[in-house]
Amino acid sequence: MIIRASRFVPTCLTALLGVLAFGSVQAAEVQVAVAANFTAPIQAIAADFEKDTGHKLVAAYGATGQFYTQIKNGAPFEVFLAADDSTPAKLEKEGDIVPGSRFTYAVGTLALWSAKDGYVDAHGKVLKDNHYQHLSIADPKTAPYGLAATQVLGKLGLTDKVKDKLVTGQNITQAYQFISTGNAELGFVALSQIYKDGKVTSGSAWIVPADMHDTIKQDAVILNKGKDNVAAKALVDYLKGPKAAAIIKSYGYQI
């Protein structure tokens, strides 16, 4: 019995070490460029992703147009979660992504928001009343939500009336910050920044009807730098799964 035990223990230990070694080899890190509007959802997803797969997600946040420039200049991103579908399509056409990796991970919603309770009415009439001094938007040249905001203003016939009141953020996060700090009485933000589990979490808002601007389809791609990274593939697969979908929907996006 003693001889058998002495043989059995090392065998089990060897197997255990093999499993641990296998796990450590498989775990990897993925560098992700994330459109600023998707900051809160990806942070929630990242926690589950790491727990469920062992892989670590390292995110940078910013405007989609700025990320495009950085990617073209050799930035080390491996996955790109854009705020539109045209920028990933452009990267695909230019040969900068893994073929077949592009897909729509979310459809965004635009909102007119004020940090003040009761300031923005449910139909956005406050825009036409024109009693505010500053209206915050993201840069329409680099941020799809900023472009959508200008389309709404155009549809309402307010482009010229509000042009001297615009406060333009580099991305949707900065546009939100201008409002939250009181530097602008109201402005256009991504619904995901002010919404969770079926309700606006602070201030007052008008959820802009989708037919007032181009559809904000947000596409994801695996960039060429991530083609051999198992964590990059795992993240894309995870974003298509039910856990990620539930989180994405809880922030007001459509799937």
Pairing of strands 135-138, 186-190: parallel
Length of the chain (residues): 255
Strand ranges in the chain using DSSP code E only, listed in sequence order: 29-35, 56-62, 79-81, 103-108, 110-114, 135-138, 166-169, 186-190, 195-196, 199-200, 204-207, 216-222
User: CA-to-CA distance for 156 and 183, rounded, in angstroms?
Assistant: 24
User: CA-to-CA distance for 82 and 61, rounded, in angstroms?
Assistant: 10
What DSSP string runs through 3-46?
Answer: HHHHHHHHHHHHHHHHHHHHHHHH--EEEEEEEGGGHHHHHHHH
Which residues lie across from 35 on neighbouring strands?
A: 62
Is 64 known to sit in a ligand binding site?
yes
CA atoms within 13 A on the CB side of 121: 7
Binding residues for molybdate: 64, 172
Binding residues: 64, 172
